[in-house]
Amino acid sequence: MMKTRGLEGVVATKSSICSITNDTLRYRGYNIDELAENSSFEEIIYLLWYGRLPLKDELMALKQELNDHVDVPSEMFRQLKAYPIDAHPMSIIRSAVSTLGIFDAHEDEMDEEANMAKALRLQAKISTIVAGLGRVRQGREPIAPRHDLSFAANFLYMLNGKLPSEIEENAFNRALVLHADHELNASTFTARVCVATLSDVYSGITAAIGALKGSLHGGANGRVMKMLEEIGSVDRVEAYVDRALKEKQKIMGFGHRVYKNGDPRAKHLKDMSYQLTRLKNEPKWYDISIKLADSLREKKGLLPNVDFYSASVYHCLGIENDLFTPIFAVSRTAGWIAHIFEQYHNNRLIRPRAQYVGAEQVTYIPLDERKRADII
């Protein structure tokens, strides 16, 4: 019955949000290369949610609405401080979003207008929560958001306590654009399975955050930076790769289920990594990355995915490793929401089958008579 492990190559739904064909990624038909060069993250949110690019006034209205909802209750920051300092940041974000949902319920979970309003609130607030978590984990006080900045600038402002330079804002904006959606990746599929039971938007996003956390998915980016730090210098790359491959370790930030000729997002992040590492006078992170990529291509035919160069980009923007995956969640929330809406619009419960390969027709032995040898 089952042909492919991990559902590789299985087409599980129709979607008009995001396509990957011949190694080209498109959001709503627009090539990611053009979007990465030209668009703001807010424009991408509009594109993903409404299916078309906004006009100027529509974009202004969306930006205004996001800014109107960017504050979070002070209890949220108290909650962030109460979690153990060594708790996994994605577990905290998952819990925080779940908590937010308790206070943002609507009696009709299928009400389209109410769900769009929820989506705006969640998209705005998740950024404040992640930046606040970044501060709390450094033992610093969260910084209240501003209401006059772009999504990208406000995040960096809340995290670093100062306005980003134009280069920093543009780089972070581009990273958000590049991570916003990716067809039926594991976390998006999770969100769709969840809401296909007619569960609510927050449950879908909470489930998706749980799936993104894993190291085979979004969790890889923080580990990439740890690996670059562990390698430490260009001359240690070859030995690191040889050992990792010999020990059959997965090297974070490489390989992809769909792209076998390279991830089209990686080149943008690579360029940004080059620029930012030079700008911040930390060229070694780029140099190590390049050497690592060359070595893995040669030795195993593996190419970098979106998580690889994003690590050195975020590092140069003053972001700690453990916030990389939560930032991925901030951006991907835009895509998850688009998919949740699409699922609601044409819903059918998602319930595949499993091919049973376990024991057949086993006779029950009452507990008192059961012996170890009877148990298979």
Ligand X SMILES: CC(=O)SCCNC(=O)CCNC(=O)[C@H](O)C(C)(C)COP(=O)(O)OP(=O)(O)OC[C@H]1O[C@@H](n2cnc3c(N)ncnc32)[C@H](O)[C@@H]1OP(=O)(O)O
What is the set of active-site residues?
A: 256, 307
* Binding-site member from 90, 92, 306, 323 for ligand OAA (CB under 6 A): 306
Residue with smallest beta-carbon separation from ligand OAA:
185
Burial of 5 (0-12, 13-18, 19+ CB in 10 A): exposed
Task: State how far the Cα of 84 lies from the Cα of 81, in Å rounded to an integer.
Answer: 8
- Nearest CB to ligand OAA, comparing residues 258 and 290: 258
Minimum Å gap between C-beta 6 and ligand OAA is: 10
Using rule CB under 6 A, residue 331 touches ligand OAA: no
Nearer to ligand X, 6 or 366 (CB): 6
Nearest residue to 137 via CA among 177, 92, 85, 178: 85
Q: Is 266 an interacting residue with respect to ligand X (CB under 6 A)?
A: no
Q: Give how many residues touch ligand OAA by CB under 6 A.
A: 6
CB nearer ligand OAA, residue 117 or residue 258: 258
268 binds ligand X (CB under 6 A): no
Q: Of 220, 266, 272, 288, which one interacts with ligand X (CB under 6 A)?
A: 220
Stretch that binds ligand X, among 165-173, 277-285, 301-309, 356-364 (CB under 6 A): 301-309
Using rule CB under 6 A, residue 217 touches ligand X: yes
String of contacts with ligand OAA for each residue 90-109, x by CB under 6 A: --------------------
Rounded Cα–Cα distance for residues 207 and 200 (Å): 11
Question: Does residue 164 bind ligand X (CB under 6 A)?
Answer: no
Helices (H), the chain: 32-38, 41-50, 56-68, 74-82, 89-102, 112-137, 151-160, 166-179, 186-195, 201-212, 220-231, 237-246, 266-279, 283-300, 306-316, 324-345
Q: Out of 88, 257, 284, 300, which residue is the one contacting ligand OAA (CB under 6 A)?
A: 257
Give the C-alpha separation, 222 to 213, whole Å.
10
Tell me which residue has tokens 């080149």.
267
Residues with Cβ < 8 Å from 177, sequence gap 6 or more?
32, 35, 36, 39, 40, 41, 44, 331
Of ligand OAA, ligand X, none, which one does residue 254 interact with (CB within 5 to 8 Å by kind)? ligand X
Q: How far apart are CA 325 and CA 44, in angstroms?
A: 20
SS3 113: helix
> For residue 24, what are the β-bridge partners?
21
Q: Report the C-alpha gap between 210 and 152 in whole angstroms.
A: 24
User: Which one, 158 or 184, has the nearer CB to ligand OAA?
Assistant: 184
Q: Which residue is nearest to ligand X (CB)?
A: 255
Question: What amino acid occupies position 347?
Answer: N
- One of 216, 239, 362, 365 touching ligand X (CB under 6 A): 216
Q: Does 226 bind ligand X (CB under 6 A)?
A: no
Give contact residues for ligand X (rule: CB under 6 A).
6, 216-218, 220, 250-257, 300, 302, 305-307
Give contact residues for ligand OAA (rule: CB under 6 A).
182, 185, 257-258, 305-306
